[in-house]
Structure 1
Amino acid sequence: MQVSITGHHVEVTEALRAHVEDKISKLKRHFDNVVDVHVILTVEKLEQKAEATVQISGAKLYADDTQEDMYVAIDNMVDKLDRQIVKHKEKLQNHR
């Protein structure tokens, strides 16, 4: 799984990078075929936005979240991706 992290108007520190990689690694517990993850962290005035595109076998999933705290935005974004991956996995298993 390749994880690329970029920042718009924010410097991606080691703490942010470690937090994102720790949270994204939890996605593999539901679905093993995660190929590529691209995370974009953005700061616009008082809003902190985290968005991610996940390439898995058979689909491309997208999630974003905007909060006042970047770490909360990352957590919420990963939760959204987690739900999407579970839903995609159930689709694959039910429609044989």
Structure 2
Amino acid sequence: MRVIVSGKNISVRPSIREYIEGKLDKFDKYFNSDVDVKVTLGVERDRHTVEITMPLKHGVTFRAEETSEDMYSSIDMVMDKLTKQMRKHKTKIEKRYHKHDSIKTAAIPDYEGETEESKIVRTKSFPIKPMDPEEAVLQMEMLNHDFFVFLNGDTDEVNVVYIRKDGNYGLIEPTM
């Protein structure tokens, strides 16, 4: 496992790098040596953000992000999230009797939370009227939602507008 640490608005001190690598060492036994772990540290005002991404073979990616007022607390919280994700993934793999060669599941402790598969608990239907993306953004803001599904009047296809973490808007257009 290779660890790549980078910083946004922060210079990564050797002590923080060593702390992260020490925490990630416990995951080393789960992965083959060809896994690249990307750690991004960021500071905005008094908020310290840690994001860890572990892309594996077969399209599996573990990703966690945490923000707090202390960098070391953020690192600890993001490690807890990753541990939970790995346990949940191990349970899913065992249920399907499908083994991936990029993650060794034998060493991961069993997941002690809910082991049932996710299920749809609510279905909602609504009429879709043709509109342009700008009107869809206005509708989304009026409803105070994070996303809005609409029929694009120009293309006659179903599109989705959503609010991004940076405060801007995104548009999802399906392609075949």
Contact kept, 8 Å, 1:53 with 1:63, in 2: the verdict is yes
* Greater mean alpha carbon deviation, residues 8-17 or residues 20-29: 20-29
Please give the alpha-carbon distance, in whole angstroms, between the structure 2 residues aligned to 1:50 and 1:38.
10
Residue 12 of structure 1: SS of its match in structure 2? Answer: coil
Please give the alpha-carbon distance, in whole angstroms, between the structure 1 residues aligned to 2:17 and 2:23.
10
Q: Give the counterpart letter for 2:71 in structure 1.
A: M
Identity %: 36
Please give the alpha-carbon distance, in whole angstroms, between the structure 2 residues aligned to 1:81 and 1:90.
14
Please give the alpha-carbon distance, in whole angstroms, between the structure 2 residues aligned to 1:67 and 1:87.
25
Superposition map of 1:25-64 within 5 A: 25-29=25-29, 31-33=30-32, 35-58=35-58, 59-64=60-65
Tell me the matched-pair count: 95
Q: Which has the larger radius of gyration?
A: 2
Contact kept, 8 Å, 1:39 with 1:52, in 2: the verdict is yes
The alpha carbon displacement at 1:86 in A equals 1.2
What are structure 1's unaligned runs of at least 5 residues? none
Superimposed CA distance per residue, residues 46-91 of structure 1 (whole angstroms, 9 cap, x where no aligned partner):
1000011012343111100000000000010011011101111121
Q: Which residue of 2 aligns with 1:95?
A: 96
Alpha-carbon distance change, 86 to 51 in structure 1, aligned in 2, over 3 angstroms: same
Superposition map of 1:10-21 within 5 A: 10-21=10-21
Q: Give the counterpart letter for 1:64 in structure 2.
A: E
Q: Which residue of 2 aligns with 1:77?
A: 78
Which structure exhibits the higher relative contact order, with contacts defined as CA atoms closer than 8 Å and separated by 6 or more residues? 1
Please give the alpha-carbon distance, in whole angstroms, between the structure 2 residues aligned to 1:70 and 1:33.
28
The alpha carbon displacement at 1:33 in A equals 4.0
Q: Which residue of 2 aligns with 1:66?
A: 67
- TM-score, normalization by structure 1: 0.90
Please give the alpha-carbon distance, in whole angstroms, between the structure 1 residues aligned to 2:36 and 2:94.
22
Please give the alpha-carbon distance, in whole angstroms, between the structure 2 residues aligned to 1:66 and 1:54.
18
Q: Give the counterpart letter for 2:21 in structure 1.
A: E
Q: Give the counterpart letter for 1:61 in structure 2.
A: F
- Runs (4 or more) in structure 1 with deviation over 3 Å come to none
